[in-house]
Structure 1
Amino acid sequence: MISSLTGTVESVGLNHAVITVSGFGMRFSATPQTLAGLRRGESGRVSTSMVVREDSMTLFGFATEDEREVFDVLLGVSGVGPRLALAVLAVYEPEAVRVAASTGDDKAFTKVPGIGPKGARRIVLELTDKLVPTGAPVAAGADGGVSSAVGQPWMEQVLEALTSLGWTEKDAEKAVRDTLRHEPELEESGDVASVLKATLRHLGQGHSSRSGR
C-alpha cells in the first residue's frame, strides 16, 4: 500500500496532480487546498490513500496525515465513496469534520455537494464515536461576484473546479460572486488557488447557497 509520495511535481490540474518518484509518475486526486500547495517543477510531498476496486486502483493525496485519516474514516460510512469523502474535505478542515460529527451537526454535512439531509444524518450517526475532536482550532469563515470577473480565465478554472466537486454551475458562480463581493482583493489578484480556497471556506460556513441535490 502506498502511504505517501515524495518527489518532483510534474503537473497540477484542477482536481489531480502528478508527482514523479524514482522515475514513475504517480497521479492522484486531491482537494483544491492540497493542490494549491504544490508547485510544478518543485519538490512535493503528500500523504496518500489508495482505493482499490474490481476495475480500478485510484490514489488520493492529502497535504497532511490528519486529512488522510478523516478521509479513510469517511469511506467507512454507508453510501460515502472517495469522491464524496474528498468533497467533504474540500469544504471542511479535518477538525471541523470531527466537531460536526461529534456534536451531531448533520446540517454541516448538507453543505457538501451530493449530501442531502438523509445522508447527513447517516454520516453523523455512523461517525459519532469514530471521529473525536482533538481540540485544534478551527478556522472561521470570512463574512460573506463581481461582473468583471465573468469571462476571466481564472474564473472559468475556479468554476470548473467547483463543478467537479459536485456543485451546479449556477451555484458555483453564485458562490464565487458572493466571495468576491466580500473579498474584492481576490478578484484583483486573479489567483485561482486563493479564490477557490476562499469560496470553499464561504460555502463551508453557509454564506452561499447551493441547490438541494
Structure 2
Amino acid sequence: MIAHLTGTVSAIRATTAVIDLGGLGLEVQCTARALAGLRLGERGHLETSLQMRQETFTLFGFVDPTEREAFEMLLGVNAVGPKLALAVLSLFDPPAFVAAILAEDLAALTRVPGVGKKSAERMLVELKDKVVRLGVDPVGHRPSVPADERPLWRQQVAGGLQGLGWSAKEAELACDAVEPLVVEDPSIGVAQLMRAALQSLAK
C-alpha cells in the first residue's frame, strides 16, 4: 500500500500528475482539487490509493485522507469503478458529497459524467449509512455542481484549466477553440476536450 507521495511535480496533465521521487517518476490519477494544489517544478504532496484492475496497478491521488477515504468508500458500491469514483470526487468535495447522499439528491449526483440514475440510486442506497464515517459536517454545504447555464462539458473544461493555473478568460477562449469538436461529436469525453484545450493554449 502506497499511502502518500511527496516529491517534485514533474508533469501536470488533464487528469494526472507525475511526482518525481529522487529520479523515479510516479504517474498518479488525481481529483480536480488534488491537481489544483500542485505546481509544476515545485514540491507536492498527495494522499494516495493503489488500485489493481485487470493486472494493472494504478495510483490515485487526493488532497487529504478524507478525500481518499471517500474514494475507497465509493469503490465499495456495486458497479462503481475507480474512474467513476474519481469523477464524483472531482465534482464534489467530501462535505458536499456527504450532503448529496444524505439529502438523496439524485439530480446532483447524475450531474457527474458517467453517473446515470441507476448508479446514483445505488450510491444512495449503499452509502447512506456509511458516509457518516467520513467525519465531515455536511451542514451548510451544497453539492458543488455548477450553477451557471453553460454546457456541462464547458464548465468542467474551464474549471479544470483554471485549476491548472490558466485565467478564466484563457479558459473560455480554449473552450471556444474546442467547441467544434463537441458539435462534431456530442459524445466526446471531457478528458479528450481537456487535452485539445491544453494544446490550443500551448500554441
For 2:141, the aligned partner's letter is V
> Partners in 2 of 1:122 and 1:50 — Cα distance?
24
2:148 is aligned, of 125, 128, 144, to 144
Q: Provide the TM-score with structure 2 as the length reference.
A: 0.70
Q: CA deviation at 1:145?
A: 9.2
Q: CA deviation at 1:63?
A: 1.3
Q: Provide the TM-score with structure 1 as the length reference.
A: 0.67
2:154 aligned residue: 173
Number of residue pairs aligned between Structure 1 and Structure 2: 164
Change (3 A) 1:117 1:64: same
2:29 aligned residue: 29
SS of the residue corresponding to residue 114 of structure 1 reads: coil
Change (3 A) 1:8 1:100: same
C-alpha contact (below 8 Å) 2:17/2:30 kept by paired residues: yes
SS of the residue corresponding to residue 57 of structure 1 reads: strand
Q: Which moved more, 1:34-43 or 1:129-138?
A: 129-138
> Partners in 2 of 1:100 and 1:67 — Cα distance?
15
1:135 is aligned, of 127, 134, 137, to 137
Change (3 A) 1:145 1:116: closer
Unaligned runs of 5+ in 1: 147-169, 178-185, 197-209
Change (3 A) 1:120 1:47: same
SS of the residue corresponding to residue 79 of structure 1 reads: coil
Q: Which moved more, 1:108-117 or 1:128-137?
A: 128-137
RMSD: 3.0
2:43 aligned residue: 43
1:204 aligned residue: none
